[in-house]
């Protein structure tokens, strides 16, 4: 399965772009020289995530996550919690969600 998310040029150099994804949302952003796609879901209780100063922060109860590793860095999320990353691939200038290829 392959699903186009956006053009690679749509992804900002810092921060993220939030895109629809089958009725939900994902953050697409640059990290460590590659593009990552993370579900816009706080793993504490399902709140949305805001991209602030290089971290994802949940406005519901204040959990924060490292954008590179996805690991929780503060707030009520479990210390071993991690954001949900989606597999993706950049091809011909597009960022695609890929599954099972
Ligand atoms: S739902 Fe995100 S901190 Fe509680």
Query: Per the structure, how many domains does the chain have?
Result: 1
For 66-90, what is the mean pLDDT? 96
Ligand 1 pocket, Cβ-based, cut-off 6 angstroms:
42, 44-47, 58, 60-63, 75-76
Residue nearest to atom 3 of ligand 1 (CA): 61
Query: Where does residue 31 rank: exposed (0-12), middle (13-18), buried (19+ CB within 10 A)?
Result: middle
For the CA of 61, the closest atom of ligand 1 is: 3
Over residues 35-52, the mean pLDDT reads 97
Measured in Å, residue 72 CA sits from the centre of ligand 1 at: 11
**CATH number for the domain harbouring residue 69:** 2.102.10.10
| C-alpha–C-alpha distance, residues 90 and 88, integer Å | 7
Residue 101's pLDDT band (cuts 50, 70, 90):
confident
Neighbours of 26 (CB within 10 A): 25
| Model pTM score | 0.95
Q: Which domain holds residue 87?
A: 2-98
Q: Give per-residue pLDDT as tens, 50-67.
A: 999 999 999 999 999 999
Strand ranges inside the chain, DSSP E: 2-7, 16-21, 24-31, 34-39, 50-52, 55-57, 64-66, 72-74, 85-86, 88-91, 94-98
């Amino acid at each position: 399965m392959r699903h186009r998310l956006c053009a690679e040029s749509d992804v900002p150099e810092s921060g993220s772009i939030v895109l629809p994804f089958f009725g939900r949302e994902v953050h697409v952003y640059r990290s460590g020289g590659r593009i990552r796609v993370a579900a816009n879901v706080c793993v504490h209780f399902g709140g949305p995530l805001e991209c602030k100063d290089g971290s994802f922060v949940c406005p519901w109860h204040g959990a924060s996550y490292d954008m590179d590793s996805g690991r929780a860095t503060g707030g009520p999320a479990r210390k071993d919690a991690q954001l949900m990353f989606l597999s993706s691939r950049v091809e011909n200038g597009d960022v695609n969600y890929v599954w099972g290829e």
